[in-house]
Amino acid sequence: MKILMVCLGNICRSPLAEGIMKAKSKKYNIDISVDSAGTAAYHVDEMPDPRSIEVARKNGIDITDQRARKFKTEDFHHFDRIYAMDESNYYDLAAQTQTDHEKEKLDMILNVTHPGQNKPVPDPYYGGKDGFDNVFAMLDNACEKIAQEIADLHQAK
């Protein structure tokens, strides 16, 4: 299973989602690969935002080896699931799908914990540090659920 986390800049939200999901894969001993990307190229090759690095570190996760990259349409071939952080990311990605199969790979990540509600992970870039704690908590819940579901699928086999 290959999972891609997508936000706008790939420096705040999706690097946290990637780091948290990788930590959950260890916790649940599931065989997944995880990556992240941004729909915009503003920060390509940059490290995650220092505030994301800090909130991850506080929670025992090191994301300093990540570098921002821009989403590419081939990602729809490579990945099995693509999680958008907000509606804007979702529609940007949906516009790049070519088949229903590709569209089925795409969802907003908080639909995992709040099915059908299309709740966004708020962009913390221009906000204070509380924003990053809030984002971490939301993503931690969603990634926990994703990992549990994958672990259950493995067991059912």
Question: Could you list the active site residues?
Answer: 7, 13, 123
* Cβ distance to ligand 4NP smaller for residue 13 or 81: 13
* Cβ distance to ligand 4NP smaller for residue 85 or 147: 85
7, β-bridge pairs: 38
Q: How far apart are CA 136 and CA 76, in angstroms?
A: 26
Q: Does 9 bind ligand 4NP (CB under 6 A)?
A: yes
Residues that contact ligand 4NP, how many (by CB under 6 A): 12
Residue 154 DSSP class: H
Q: Does 144 bind ligand 4NP (CB under 6 A)?
A: no
Q: Does 125 bind ligand 4NP (CB under 6 A)?
A: yes
CA trace torsion 83, 39, 102, 137 (10° rounding): 0
* Cβ distance to ligand 4NP smaller for residue 9 or 19: 9
Q: Does 36 bind ligand 4NP (CB under 6 A)?
A: no
Q: How far apart are CA 57 and CA 3, in angstroms?
A: 22
Helix or strand or coil: residue 39?
Answer: coil
| Residue of minimal Cβ distance to ligand 4NP | 9
Owner of token pair 């081939």: 74
